[in-house]
Structure 1
Amino acid sequence: MSDAHRCVEASGAVPDPVTQIDDHQLGFGFAITAPDEKAGALIDDAAHRCQSDYMDVTARVWMSQGERLTN
């Protein structure tokens, strides 16, 4: 998860802290501040690409296991 978090940050977005979602996965959102709509769209696309690249496969495997996260 830290690689995805760093990638989103490098894209120009500001990632939220990683949180537990539905006892089965971890995730985070992000905020974007940009000088105009075009710049914001570029950052948004890059940040979403980070999340897809780093988390899609991992999330599918984790969910298929049906394991609850424990503290």
Structure 2
Amino acid sequence: MEKASMTGRGTPNRDWWPNQLRLDILHQHSAKSNPMGRDFSYAKEFKSLDLAAVKRDLAALMTDSQD
């Protein structure tokens, strides 16, 4: 009995799902795609958050009924 040749490469995703969405387009960065502007600092804005209030809001969101 002959052994099959194994290349170790496997079947590429595009062979299984040839009509899949191109998600690499989401990784493009441009000044036009930044709604916050060039001078916006995520670190500075994060430090200004009231984390206790954020936690309370999240707890309420997950426990209060919306019916």
Q: TM-score, with normalisation over the residues of structure 2?
A: 0.28
Q: Which has the larger radius of gyration?
A: 2
Structure with the higher fraction of residues in strand conformation: 1
Higher relative contact order (CA 8 A, sep 6+): 1
TM-score (norm 1): 0.27
Whose helix proportion is higher, 1 or 2?
Answer: 1
